[in-house]
Homo-oligomer: A and B are copies of this chain.
Amino acid sequence: MVSRRAAALAAQPPAIAAAHFRAEAHPYHPRLRPGGYINLGTAENRLVWDLLAPRLTGPRPLSAADTHYAPLHGTDAFREQLARFLGGVCRTEVDPEHLVVVSGVTSALDVIASVLCDPGEAIVVPAPYYGAFDVDLVGRSGARLLPVPLSAGRNFQVTASEIGHALTRARERGVTVRAVALASPGNPVGHVHPPQVLREIAEVAGQHGVDVIVDEIYANSVFGGAPFVSFLDPEVRRAGTGRVHIVWGFAKDFGLPGFKIGVLCSPDPEVCAAARALAYFAATSTDTQAVLRDVLADRAWVARFLAESRRRLALSYASSVELLTAAGVPFVPVGAGFSLWVDLGAWLTAPTFAAEHALWERILEQACVNVLPGQLFASPDPGWFRICYATDLAVVTEGISRVVRLLGASEPRGDERAAVSSRPVGATRYESIED
Contact = CB atoms under 8 A, between A and B. Distances in A.
Interface in A118-149: 118, 121, 135-136, 139-141
A107 B282 contact: yes
Interface in A35-60: 42, 44, 46, 49, 52-53, 56-60
A194 to B, nearest CB: 30
A163 to B, nearest CB: 20
Contacts of A10: 270, 273-274, 276-277
A394 to B, nearest CB: 16
A419 to B, nearest CB: 41
A355 interface: no
Main secondary structure of the interface of A (DSSP, over half): helix
Interface stretch (A257-265, A336-344, A399-407): A257-265
A1 to B, nearest CB: 7
A281 B105 CA distance: 9
Contacts of A270: 1-2, 10
Contacts of A67: 49, 52, 56, 255-259
Chain B CB within 10 Å, residue with most, of A1, A44, A291? A1
Contact of A281 (B106, B178, B284): B106
Given A20-B69, A59-B58, A69-B44, A6 B258 contact: no
The size bracket of the interface on A is 35 or more
Contacts of A276: 10
Contacts of A352: none
Nearest to A75: B258
A103 interface: yes
Interface in A271-288: 271, 273-278, 280-288
A21 interface: yes
A68 interface: yes
Nearest to A17: B72
A258 B2 contact: no
B281 A291 contact: no
Interface in A362-394: none
A276 B7 CA distance: 11
B2 A115 contact: yes
B61 A103 contact: no
Interface of A: 1-7, 9-10, 12-14, 17, 20-21, 42, 44, 46, 49, 52-53, 56-62, 64, 66-72, 103-104, 106-107, 110, 114-118, 121, 135-136, 139-141, 178, 255-261, 270-271, 273-278, 280-288, 291
Which 6 A-B residue pairs are closest in the complex by CB-CB distance?
A258-B286, A6-B274, A49-B64, A285-B288, A9-B277, A10-B274
